[in-house]
């Protein structure tokens, strides 16, 4: 498939690139070193319409589609992968509300999320249930007009700062059909933020534990019907995964640009290292793999924009792009030699930031399971 961006998509790409290089790039290293959550940047990104890119305009979104979302995500990730994951999860939290929210839920929760007035979070993972998302134990028991949620959610991106959290909890025993989704505000009684994680990378993003102790949630905050939660979450994650694939492509492009520049500046044995075939082959492999990941990702996004199923394509894009960025980050730090190991150089940060892409929103092993299942059932 030959991919041709529309004029609007190209404009969005250039606008976000210009914004990210001007506003984010100069401070991304400090945000990482000092673990600063980028509030000010996020406010500006909200003004640019980046927090609800697939949300209809009547609900505060910019509704520019998944391809534009991927292009924007690449550009933000190029400059700051931490900011990119924060943005990714805000867009992810909108997905099930757009698809299943009542008019009242959309007005109350989707509008402020899409406008970026509140940050979103999407809470599935628990201490004993990661890849096996259907193994969650958090319970939701209904008493009158409220559900009472009890359990612990782990590793929740934006967990400390989200104004709206989509939380999965169990309303019945059946593994998949017993799971429901709820819209939860941090001010609800029984909600608290637990451990805030100290991470290898993405150090300017927030990852926190959420503790629910008979957390009182109005029954009207049930998203869809009881038992719809797992299916809803998996559908949202299809789009989420092309977001992480795009984050991977953005990080890889940044590694690549750094490596090419350095190979033209650094001399050893009297010649620029870029004149040696060993370095040239690394550069050629990096460029080829980045291009392949970019096309896989945009293809999945284009299918989504046409309303077609993307489960397999999204998993392929996420699997390939996330493994690709780890290879590219490895090669980029290799090209930098000892300097690549030092915190003064951007590739050191990118190498750490790249690592988690093969883990969150489904590990590489889970993506392979999804792809194989789709193939074997004849999708």
Ligand X SMILES: Cc1cc2nc3c(=O)[nH]c(=O)nc-3n(C[C@H](O)[C@H](O)[C@H](O)COP(=O)(O)OP(=O)(O)OC[C@H]3O[C@@H](n4cnc5c(N)ncnc54)[C@H](O)[C@@H]3O)c2cc1C
Under the rule (CB under 6 A), what is the footprint of ligand X? 89, 122-125, 130-131, 155-157, 199, 202, 207, 356, 359-363, 365-366
User: Closer to ligand X at the Cβ: 119 or 156?
Assistant: 156
Closest CA to 162 of 128, 224, 198, 205: 205
User: Closer to ligand X at the Cβ: 89 or 282?
Assistant: 89
User: Closer to ligand X at the Cβ: 123 or 140?
Assistant: 123
Min dist. Cβ of residue 85 to ligand X (A): 7
User: Closer to ligand X at the Cβ: 9 or 239?
Assistant: 239
CA neighbours closer than 13 Å in the CB half-sphere of residue 318: 30
Question: Which candidate in 104, 289, 361, 365 is catalytic?
Answer: 361
Min dist. Cβ of residue 267 to ligand X (A): 39
Q: What is the largest CA-CA distance in the chain?
A: 79
User: Closer to ligand X at the Cβ: 130 or 250?
Assistant: 130
Min dist. Cβ of residue 119 to ligand X (A): 11
Residue 361 annotated in active site: yes
205/198 Cα distance (integer angstroms): 10
84/237 Cα distance (integer angstroms): 16
β-pairing verdict for 120-123 and 164-170: parallel
Indicate the SS3 state at residue 171. Answer: coil
Ramachandran angles phi, psi of 152, nearest 5°: -130, 130
Task: Please give the C-alpha separations between residue 108 and each of 60, 154, 183, 188, 264, in angstroms, as whole numbers.
Answer: 11, 26, 10, 15, 54
Indicate the SS3 state at residue 374. Answer: helix
Indicate the SS3 state at residue 173. Answer: coil
Which residues, including other chains, have CB under 8 Å from residue 365's CB and lie 6 or more apart?
Answer: 131
Min dist. Cβ of residue 335 to ligand X (A): 27
Min dist. Cβ of residue 224 to ligand X (A): 18
User: Closer to ligand X at the Cβ: 156 or 332?
Assistant: 156
Min dist. Cβ of residue 129 to ligand X (A): 7
94/119 Cα distance (integer angstroms): 10
Q: Are residues 120 and 158 in contact, defined by beta-carbon separation less than 8 angstroms? A: yes
Residue nearest to ligand X (CB): 130
Indicate the SS3 state at residue 193. Answer: strand
β-pairing verdict for 267-268 and 222-223: unpaired
Tokens linked to 141: 């028991």
Active site residues: 361
């Amino acid at each position: 498939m030959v991919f041709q961006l529309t004029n609007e998509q190209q404009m969005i790409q250039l606008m976000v690139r210009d914004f990210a290089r001007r506003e984010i790039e100069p401070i991304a290293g400090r945000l990482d070193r000092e673990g600063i959550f980028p509030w000010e940047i996020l406010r500006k990104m909200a003004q640019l319409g980046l927090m609800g890119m697939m949300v209809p305009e009547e609900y505060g979104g910019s509704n520019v589609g998944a391809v534009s979302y991927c292009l924007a995500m690449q550009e933000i990730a190029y400059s700051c992968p931490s900011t990119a994951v924060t943005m990714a999860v805000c867009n992810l939290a909108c997905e099930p509300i757009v698809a299943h929210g009542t008019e009242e839920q959309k007005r109350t929760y989707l509008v402020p999320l899409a406008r970026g007035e509140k940050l979103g979070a999407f809470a599935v993972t628990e201490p004993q249930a990661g890849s096996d998302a259907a193994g969650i134990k958090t319970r939701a028991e209904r008493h009158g007009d409220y559900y009472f949620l009890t359990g612990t959610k782990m590793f929740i991106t934006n967990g400390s700062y989200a104004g709206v959290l989509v939380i999965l909890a169990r309303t019945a025993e059946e593994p998949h059909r017993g799971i429901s989704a709820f819209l939860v505000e941090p001010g609800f009684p029984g909600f608290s933020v637990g451990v805030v994680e100290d991470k290898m990378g993405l150090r300017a993003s927030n990852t926190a534990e959420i503790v629910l102790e008979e957390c009182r949630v109005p029954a009207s905050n049930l998203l869809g019907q009881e038992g719809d939660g797992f299916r809803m979450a998996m559908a949202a994650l299809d789009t989420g995964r092309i977001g992480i694939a795009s984050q991977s492509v953005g990080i890889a492009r940044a590694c690549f640009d750094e490596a090419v520049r350095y190979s033209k500046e650094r001399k050893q044995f009297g010649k620029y290292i870029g004149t040696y075939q060993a370095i040239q082959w690394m550069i050629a492999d990096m460029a080829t793999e980045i291009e392949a990941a970019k096309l896989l990702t945009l293809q999945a996004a284009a299918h989504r924009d046409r309303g077609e199923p993307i489960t397999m394509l999204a998993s392929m894009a996420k699997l390939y792009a996330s493994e690709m960025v780890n290879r590219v980050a490895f090669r980029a730090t290799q090209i930098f030699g000892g300097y690549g190991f030092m915190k003064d150089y951007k590739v050191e940060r990118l190498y750490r930031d790249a690592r988690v892409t093969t883990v969150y929103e489904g590990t590489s092993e889970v993506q392979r399971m999804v792809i194989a299942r789709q193939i074997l059932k004849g999708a």
